[in-house]
Amino acid sequence: MTINDLILIDITMNSRRLRPFFYFTIVALLMVSCKDEQPTEKQNILLICIDDLRPELNCYGVDYIHSPNIDMLAQSGVLFNNHYVNAPSCGPSRYTLLTGTYGGPSNKALFTRASQISDGNEDIQPSMPEWFNQHGYTTVSVGKVSHHPGGRGGDNWNDSTIIEMPGAWDKHLIPVGEWQHPRGVMHGLAHGEIRTVPSEMDVFQSVEGDDTIYPDGAITEEALSQIEELSADEENPFFLAVGLIRPHLPFGAPKSYYHHYEDVILPPIAHPEKPNEKTTWHKSGEFKQYNRWEKDPNVDQDFADELRRHYAASVSYADAQVGKILAELKRTGADKNTIVVLWGDHGWHLGEHAIWGKHSLFEESLHSPMIIHYPDMKNSNTKTNALVATLDIFPTLCDLAKIESPDFAEGVSLHAILANPATATGHPVIGYKSNAKTIRTKTHRLIQHKDGFVELYDLTSAASETKNVADSSPDLVLALKKDLHTKLQRRDSRLEAL
């Protein structure tokens, strides 16, 4: 109802006796109507990105992992049991998170996009933070959100003339402390040790001290400062992305976190044998570049378990940083109006298929945790088995924040799944690397190599990804290949045009 409606009705009234009651009723209705038409308060967004994080957390059913803060977030939100990334590597996975589109498999994908913007290519669509910035949000990144911590290029990733995501962030921050520069932070160990010659840096360590002796302690302190500052702005909502580096290699955390695992009896590594057929198996080159004291975890069980304990300690250290960030959000009162997404940028093999690292198209590389919480959600402390993808985060955040969702985003909003997590099924998800691509359904994974070779795995069987059943399922292979081609066709056409 509008003022014109009120005038129109008023001039049709002939009875003076009815007018006082009429005016009271109409004004009351008008006040309610005007209230309904007021724009709702925009929701802040806190995106927490964690590097190399497997869905190996207590809230995911791994009871020996000490992750009380992420577990608490899961209790206040919806945990996705079947979230998959599009690429088993930091750069292309974060490209999809931050653009809402499939890209190429290179870690330099965002820098390639930046070069295209610099060259005046008008076909480059806004990134997710840029989209929110255009809709009134203050956008800030802290730590490793895009591929380079701090979002800059150059030899030490601190060249302010080389921006990884032009136009995305009002501030993109990376405290470096003793680690000298962002590149030092990325592969830093305790007390400022940085990676110069990888073979001279230990693959794991634990050192006595507080959280600030490792880089994530500094990243978290900066994140807390940003939350305090952003939450004090009463006019503009914020989009804050915080990128934690651990448990990325080399595994390093204060010794207090390692203590959780000293006496833990670890479960056996699932399917630890190297595949004897063609797969996307690799030699774990990233892992092997570090000092391993001439030990091989594929034949040395004690060393394998020690690696797993240090990985777990790094997870607990990252969990502690998440706890501090969420506590500050609550202290400022911003938690009452903030959507929180916790996202792992990909998985990590801890000996499965005789791989130590990511970069395969097996489940271990592509499966990562995701938790979504927003104020007053009806289905908190809920898990969903729906198949979802990193690609879906951009439209989901637009939906939850009640802003326009871009037509170029290639994912789907997960709002319906958040509303009915127990019964939702989701959708097939795809992934790729330079020489192969894959599609994952509720029951199967198909991997198609560049030379045409196909792997097909029945994920409902005990053999799972250790037995290729492509030869016995030709009709399913054909259908999944067609679906995979259809889903990637838009991406391939776009990349060719660029």
Cα–Cα distances in angstroms (integers) from residue 222 to residues 259, 319, 349, in the given order: 27, 16, 31
> In whole angstroms, what is the distance from residue 424 CA to residue 96 CA?
23
Q: Is-catalytic flag, 259?
A: no
Cα four-point dihedral sign 104, 110, 114, 120: positive
- Contact status, residue 412 vs residue 427, Cβ threshold 8 Å: yes
Helix axes 301-332, 68-75, angle to 10 degrees: 50
Token pair of 364, please?
A: 């271990």
> In whole angstroms, what is the distance from residue 448 CA to residue 243 CA?
32
Which residue is catalytic, options 49, 90, 181, 349? 90
Instruction: Name which of 299, 423, 435, 438 is nearest 364 in CA terms.
Output: 438
Token pair of 49, please?
A: 């990105």
* Backbone Cα Rg of the chain: 25
Largest alpha-carbon pair distance within the chain?
99
Kindly state the helix (H) or strand (E) to which residue 416 belongs, with its residue range: helix 415-419
Which residue is catalytic, options 49, 59, 83, 147? 147
Q: What are phi and psi of 148, to 5 degrees?
A: -95, 125
Q: Is-catalytic flag, 90?
A: yes
Determine the Cα angle at 186 with ends 204 and 62, to 5°: 55
Q: What are phi and psi of 288, to 5 degrees?
A: -75, -10
Determine the Cα angle at 104 with ends 385 and 413, to 5°: 35
Give the 3-state secondary structure of residue 495: helix
Phi-psi region of 452 (alpha: psi -120 to 50; beta: other; left: phi over 0): left
Q: What are phi and psi of 250, to 5 degrees?
A: -75, 150
> In whole angstroms, what is the distance from residue 139 CA to residue 230 CA?
10
Decide the pairing of beta strands 436-440 and 204-207. Answer: unpaired
Q: Any idea which residues carry the catalytic annotation?
A: 90, 147
